A = this chain, B = another copy of it.
Amino acid sequence: MSVAIENFVKAIYKNGKRDNNDTKPGNIAKELGISNAAATDMAKKLATKDLLNYKKYQELKLTDKGTKMALNVVRKHRLWEALLFKLFDMSLHDIHREAELLEHQTSDLLANKISEYLGNPKFDPHGDPIPNEDGEITTTDTSIPLSNTEEGKTYTISRLMSDDKEFFDFCAQNGLKYGNSILISKQFSKNKMTQILINNNTILLNQDFTSIIYVNEQD
């Protein structure tokens, strides 16, 4: 299956989630930056491949096969994002752009290797869920914001729920990275600040940050 097809089913999947199912050709076309005519053509073609159900003037609906393909691409995208984020100092924006291309050139084998290397994470650095090999998504998230942690305990960073460049610059400077360990040295209940120890550095964070940094308790 081609890159164009993978992107098409992915766009339907994402648009379906976001815009309460407005998956008519025009919407998909806008998402992909192609003409409406091209989207209609592609929709017809994919219907013959049993990837979606197509009825004139109606919303495009992915079949089980189509959904599975979309989830497979999403899985690879998010695994790449998680890996690049862990290994390299790159902005999430740049990482996203690379993942957008790499996702289509990744065997299932390699995807599994990346997943395994990362400890089979259920969420990517944005906090978006990573589908597993069978396309299953974990919706229940056991991680909690830093603001809800307990003094003296050690946690692992699981999500950095932001798209803000400044926030990520701050994270990069202070070792706040997906997977890294944090010891909560003090919770100031009065002003809602949190003092943490990371990489042998003590940092004080305010609630703007502790509410978007998610962690899991270490066992």
Residues of A bordering B, CB below 8 Å: 84, 87-90, 94, 97-98, 101-102, 104-107, 109-110, 113-114, 116-117
Bound state CA distance, A97 and B102, in angstroms? Answer: 14
Task: Provide the residues of chain B in CB contact with A104, threshold 8 Å.
Answer: 105
- 14 A-B Cβ contacts within 8 A? A87-B117, A88-B110, A88-B113, A88-B114, A88-B116, A88-B117, A89-B113, A97-B107, A98-B106, A98-B107, A101-B105, A101-B106, A102-B105, A105-B105
Identical chains in the assembly: 2
Knowing that A84-B110, A88-B117 touch, tell me 19 more A-B residue pairs with CB under 8 angstroms.
Answer: A88-B113, A88-B114, A88-B116, A89-B113, A90-B109, A90-B110, A94-B109, A97-B107, A98-B105, A98-B106, A98-B107, A98-B110, A101-B105, A101-B106, A102-B102, A102-B105, A102-B106, A104-B105, A105-B105
Residue among A90, A102, A106, A113 facing the most chain B CB atoms (10 A cut-off)? A113
The distance from the CB of A81 to the nearest CB of chain B, in whole angstroms, is 13
Identity of the chain B residue whose Cβ is nearest the Cβ of A101 in the assembled complex: B105
Bound state CA distance, A104 and B106, in angstroms? Answer: 12
Identity of the chain B residue whose Cβ is nearest the Cβ of A97 in the assembled complex: B107
Bound state CA distance, A176 and B94, in angstroms? Answer: 33
Task: Provide the residues of chain B in CB contact with A117, threshold 8 Å.
Answer: 87-88
Bound state CA distance, A98 and B107, in angstroms? Answer: 7
The distance from the CB of A121 to the nearest CB of chain B, in whole angstroms, is 15
Task: Provide the residues of chain B in CB contact with A107, threshold 8 Å.
Answer: 97-98
Task: Provide the residues of chain B in CB contact with A101, threshold 8 Å.
Answer: 105-106
The distance from the CB of A119 to the nearest CB of chain B, in whole angstroms, is 13
Bound state CA distance, A94 and B111, in angstroms? Answer: 13
